[in-house]
Amino acid sequence: MKFLGKQQNLKKILFVCVENAGRSQMAEGFFRKYAPRGWAPISAGSRPTPQINPLAVQAMKEVGIDISNQKPKELSEELIRDSWLNISMGCIDKTECPAIFVGKFEDWGIEDPKGKPLEKVREIRNKIEEKVLELVTKIESN
């Protein structure tokens, strides 16, 4: 994915999960909201689904973030190479996300919301927001 204009110089955080339909999309939405100037999020999956989990969209709307127009994207070497930090949302499986182990990497170990009821998706959303805020604090203190 190419970024145009001013966005070219942004430092990118890549959020990765297998389907790019829930956790990584929520993380992208939160980071877009809280990111310091000069930073941008992107998310991708090793086996992206055709659409975002509707409960993830609903849970994010409840906190004022609309991710309904985001689309699942396929993880690529270019996305990984162009990212300042690669974050696995919890797919620390080298068969599913082998490329993410290249470069600067963190695993957040967050439960997959797929097939979970809305109440559980909200809990997962809240955990993702906490982790994104911790990341933003770390970035701002450097």
Q: Is 17 a catalytic residue?
A: yes
Nearest to 17 by CA among 7, 28, 9: 28
Among 17, 44, 110, 124, the active-site one is: 17
| CB 59 within 8 Å of CB 127 | no
- Catalytic status, residue 111: no
Cα angle: 131, vertex 72, 27; to 5 degrees = 10
User: Is residue 108 a contact partner of residue 90, using CB atoms and an 8 Å limit?
Assistant: yes
CA dist 141 and 139 (Å) reads 6
| Catalytic residue (choose from 91, 121, 128, 132) | 91
Q: Which of 14, 59, 80, 97 is catalytic?
A: 97
Which letter does DSSP use for residue 35 in this model?
P
- Beta-carbon contacts of residue 107 (< 8 Å; ≥ 6 apart): 87, 88, 90, 92
Asked whether 50 and 72 are in contact (CB, 8 A), the reply is yes
Residues annotated as catalytic are 17, 91, 97
